[in-house]
A and B are shown apart, each in its own frame.
Chain A
Amino acid sequence: GQQLNQSPQSMFIQEGEDVSMNCTSSSIFNTWLWYKQDPGEGPVLLIALYKAGELTSNGRLTAQFGITRKDSFLNISASIPSDVGIYFCAGPVWGKLIFGQGTELSVKP
Chain B
Amino acid sequence: KAGVTQTPRYLIKTRGQQVTLSCSPISGHRSVSWYQQTPGQGLQFLFEYFSETQRNKGNFPGRFSGRQFSNSRSEMNVSTLELGDSALYLCASSPQLTQQETQYFGPGTRLLVL
A contact set with B: CB distance below 8 Å: 1, 31, 33, 40-45, 48, 88, 90, 92, 94-102
Residues A42 and B4 in contact, CB atoms below 8 Å apart: yes
Query: Out of A31, A40, A44, which one reaches B101, CB within 8 Å?
Result: A31
Residues A95 and B101 in contact, CB atoms below 8 Å apart: no
Given contacts A42-B106, A48-B101, A97-B33, 9 further A-B contacts (CB under 8 A): A31-B101, A41-B108, A42-B90, A88-B43, A90-B100, A92-B98, A96-B45, A97-B100, A102-B43
Query: Out of A31, A44, A95, which one reaches B48, CB within 8 Å?
Result: A95
B107 to chain A: which residues have CB within 8 Å?
Answer: 40-42
B48 to chain A: which residues have CB within 8 Å?
Answer: 95-96
Residues A96 and B90 in contact, CB atoms below 8 Å apart: no
A97 to chain B: which residues have CB within 8 Å?
Answer: 33, 35, 45, 100, 103
Would you give the shortest CB distance from A41 to chain B, in whole angstroms? Answer: 5
Residues A95 and B43 in contact, CB atoms below 8 Å apart: no
A-B contact pairs, 15 of them (CB 8 A): A33-B100, A42-B4, A42-B90, A42-B105, A42-B107, A42-B108, A92-B100, A95-B55, A96-B48, A96-B58, A97-B45, A97-B100, A99-B43, A101-B42, A102-B42
A96 to chain B: which residues have CB within 8 Å?
Answer: 45, 48, 56, 58
Would you give the shortest CB distance from B10 to chain A, in whole angstroms? Answer: 10
Nearest to A35 among chain B residues (CB) is: B105
Chain B, interface residues (CB within 8 Å), range = 20 to 34
Verify if B92 is at the interface (C-beta below 8 Å from A): yes
Within 8 A of A (CB), among B67-114: 90, 92, 98, 100-101, 103-108
Nearest to B4 among chain A residues (CB) is: A42
Which 10 A-B pairs rank lowest in CB-CB distance, beginning with the nearest?
Answer: A42-B105, A99-B43, A48-B101, A96-B45, A95-B98, A95-B56, A97-B100, A101-B42, A42-B90, A92-B100
Would you give the shortest CB distance from A78 to chain B, in whole angstroms? Answer: 26
Would you give the shortest CB distance from B49 to chain A, in whole angstroms? Answer: 12
B105 to chain A: which residues have CB within 8 Å?
Answer: 41-44
